[in-house]
Chains A and B, each alone.
Chain A
Amino acid sequence: MTRVNTNVSLIGIILAVSLLSACATAPSPKSYSAFNSERPRSILVVPTLNNTGNIQAPEFFLSTISRPFAERGYYVFPAYMLKRLLEEDGLSDAGLVHATDASRLGGLFGCDSVLFVTIQRWDSKYLVLSTTTNVAFDYTLKSCKTGNTLWQDKQELVYSPQQNSSGNPLADLIAQAIVAALEKGAPNYMPLTMQANAAAAGTLGKGLPAGPYLSTYQQDGAAFPQ
């Protein structure tokens, strides 16, 4: 009985600790003075710059960016509509848009800030018995008034499916190869990307302070120091 108890407690503690570390990452000190001096209410997401060989990555990425930043309490402009409007205006090239002064975009769209995202990694490596999927993003939020950088972040996430041991080494090997092949066939880019964006926007002390659409607006200053 005692033995079972200990095991259960241990599993519970490991589970609790892993959950804890997953949400409350120790924040590296970041200055929010530029951000706080403007307190943007709205975020314009422009087409993502793609530094990977996967040409579809920016289009897929687009579906994941609005929610986590809007959930921090900001008005996020309609991402797909914006993409189409920029195309109509001859600004479909992400490199061109990223090189454009954010204050000029402010004049065009009436935004308070612009979010520039660069995709640095979006790949899946297959090594017969294991597949590793990687995504990495750089985020820069710039002021539509001054063009200055208000906030920056980087996220790099790795996913590798794990096969639990069944006690039969041969069966384990086969199962592992199948799991790796499945991941290779349909890499889990989307869950990883959603997780990366949620961490970028929502990590306490590192992400964005609560925006005007949250009840904690202007009350979380302690977590986001100058």
Chain B
Amino acid sequence: MRTTNLSIILALAGGLLTSCAAPSRFEWGNYEAGLYTYAKRPDQKATYRRALEEAIRKGRATNRVAPGLLAELGYLQLEDGNIPGAIALFEEEKVLFPESKNLMNDVISRISAGSTTSIEKKS
């Protein structure tokens, strides 16, 4: 009797819990923790980069790449001077999320014109 009641109650509570915590639409990996760490410690850029890479890798595998993450990783690549890598990621963001088209095209044309700060720093 006790077991039955308890299991019903737990099932009910569990059901309510899961009904609030709906499954994630997108794969975020450790994006939030990674960006927080980088904000707290500017020398932790690699942690943020790894979090993005991992979230994107998992997201690609399940077709659930989260909005913005490809562009964020592309921007880090740009800062590090990897221009082809950056452009490839900006293009992928545009394909997955057409809403980003204007911004991605703008950034790509800025790179071509050599007008982003990061490019100027490199050259």
Identify the A interface with B (CB < 8 A). Answer: 1, 4-5, 8-9, 12-13, 15-16, 19-20, 22-23, 41-42, 56, 59-60, 62-64, 66-67, 70-71, 73-81, 84-85, 88, 109-112, 190, 194, 213-214
Please give me the residue from chain B that is nearest to A71 by CB atom. B25
Residue B113 at the chain A interface, CB threshold 8 Å:
no
Q: Is B83 an interface residue (CB 8 A)?
A: no
The size of the chain B interface, using a CB distance under 8 A, is 43
Neighbouring A residues of B12 by C-beta, 8 Å: 12, 16
The 4 closest A-B pairs by CB, nearest first: A110-B102, A12-B9, A23-B20, A78-B68
**Majority SS at the chain B contact face:** helix
| Contacting residue for A79 out of B17, B24, B68, B100, CB 8 A | B68
Verify A5–B116 contact, CB threshold 8 A: no
For B16, list chain A residues within 8 Å (CB). 16, 19-20, 23
Kindly list chain B residues whose C-beta atoms are within 8 Å of the C-beta of A79. Answer: 68, 72
A-facing mask of B1-39, CB < 8 A → 1, else 0? Answer: 110011001101100110110001110100111111001
A-B pair number, CB within 8 angstroms: 122
What's the least CB distance linking B76 to chain A, in Å? Answer: 9
Q: How far is the CB of B56 from chain A (nearest CB, A)?
A: 12
B contacts, CB < 8 Å to A: 1-2, 5-6, 9-10, 12-13, 16-17, 19-20, 24-26, 28, 31-36, 39-40, 66-69, 71-72, 74-75, 93, 97, 99-103, 106-107, 116-117
Q: Is the interface of A mostly helix, strand, loop or mixed?
A: helix
Q: Nearest-CB distance from A87 to chain B (Å)? A: 8
In the complex, the answer to whether B99 meets A67 with C-beta atoms within 8 Å is no
Instruction: Kindly list chain A residues whose C-beta atoms are within 8 Å of the C-beta of B100.
Output: 42, 75, 77
